Chains A and B, each alone.
Chain A
Amino acid sequence: MTVPLALLGLLDREPSYGYDLKRAYDTYFGRGKPLPFGQVYSTLARLARDGKVTAGRSEPGEGPDRKRYSLTPLGKQEVESWLTEPVAAEPFLQTVLFTKVVLALMLGHDAQRYLDLQRATHMRRMRELSEVKRGGVLVDALLADHALFHLEADLRWIDVTTARLGALAETVRRA
């Protein structure tokens, strides 16, 4: 689940109100599926309970909640370790990969390095699956093929994103 981690990542930029977090999330990661306000605040409440964010005092303003949320050292550590760990090489990871790349650029991290490591993780898994194919029966080989083609699609996306990383960094900086 990437919503809590995406919110933690956005808070790593600067302390923010719930409304601003929702707006930033929708801009970068929502893409036709805006994050409901209820989910923003319930997620922030859980993160506060777990000691990953702190909520400031209520401030006067529009809406029910005008608390400014900040990242705690524990929350920061969670963002750092999430960004630095390549995702397990499984199909259908585009959303997670994209979120990581955008946040890495936002936070001034080395997004290229992240993409390279993710690429290596995918390739390692593809090698394992190729080995399964060589030694396996037809059913194993076809199942391995299914995973291989999906991993290949991810890799193509990684390559295209790598080629456009400069332009994406500009977009993220301008927003």
Chain B
Amino acid sequence: MTIDALPAPGPLLRADSISRSYGRTPALREASLSVTAGEILAIMGPSGSGKSTLLHCLAGIFTPDTGQVWFDGHRLDTLGDAGRSRLRRTAFGFVFQFGQLVPELTAADNVALPLLLGRTGRRHAYQRARGWLERLELDGLGERRTGELSGGQAQRVAIARALVTRPKVIFADEPTGALDSLAGEKVMDLLVGLARQEGVTVIVVTHDSRVAACADREVIVRDGKVTDPYADEYAGEAVR
């Protein structure tokens, strides 16, 4: 495996002018973004603006057609499938809106699963899984099938599963999209609170400004490009 190295120190994750199309439809057009270690960043934008594609490129799920993605000083976009897959398993955690948990398995099984796949011993994996369920205020629900849990509880299981491998980055795509205000708030409070305690970087794609308000800053994706509203603060001459 060949990895191009970036001189340290730098941002933990960086996209440099990445473009990606679906057939002839461009989703990202030379989008650039930097994320520092420990930062909690919200990616906002209208539907179809390219924000989920950007998240997938940053997470190594998609490779951009052009441009570069750097993670922790190394090129991510030039890694092969196996390398990116390993990185996703060891350094990244994921929380999506739906469908990431196996409904027939218990909450503890679901949280332990990534550890078992990474060849952690069964006893140790379940011990850690139970510890994370407790931190997500789900103690007592470990033996329940996730299909029987409420939406908010299931998302908290998903967060436990994302954190159990001690990732450097958690990618969350509309993590509260299917939840009511209170359940969504609880999920975000726990995700952000635990990420800060653990020093984990979080990149969250969201339509919801209340979710984005939990982040340190937000960027807007519009027509496949990233706009950082804080990049140059209004100096009075901007509109001229």
Report A's interface with B, CB cutoff 8 A: 80-81, 83-86, 104, 109-110, 113-114, 116-117, 119-120, 122-123, 126-127, 129-130, 134, 148, 151-152, 155-156, 159, 162-163
Contacts and interface: CB of A to CB of B under 8 A. Distances in A.
B55 to A, nearest CB: 19
- Give the dominant DSSP class at B's interface: loop
Interface range for B: 10 to 19
A114 B236 contact: no
- Give the dominant DSSP class at A's interface: helix
B239 A148 contact: no
Interface string B206-223: 000110111100101010
B180 to A, nearest CB: 14
B234 interface: yes
Contact of B238 (A110, A127, A129, A156): A110
Contact of A117 (B212, B222, B234): B234
A116 B220 CA distance: 9
Contacts of A86: 234
A152 B211 CA distance: 11
A119 B229 contact: yes
Given A116-B227, A116-B229, A123 B218 contact: yes
Contact of B209 (A84, A114, A155): A155
Contacts of B189: 134
Contact of A123 (B213, B227, B236, B239): B213
Nearest to B213: A126
B230 interface: yes
Interface of B: 46, 189, 209-210, 212-215, 218, 220, 222, 227, 229-230, 234, 236, 238-240
Listed residue (A83, A110, A123) with the most chain B CB atoms within 10 angstroms of its CB: A123
Contacts of B222: 162
Contacts of A129: 213
A126 B210 contact: yes
A104 to B, nearest CB: 7
Contact of A84 (B218, B220, B230, B238): B238
A94 to B, nearest CB: 16
A119 B236 CA distance: 17
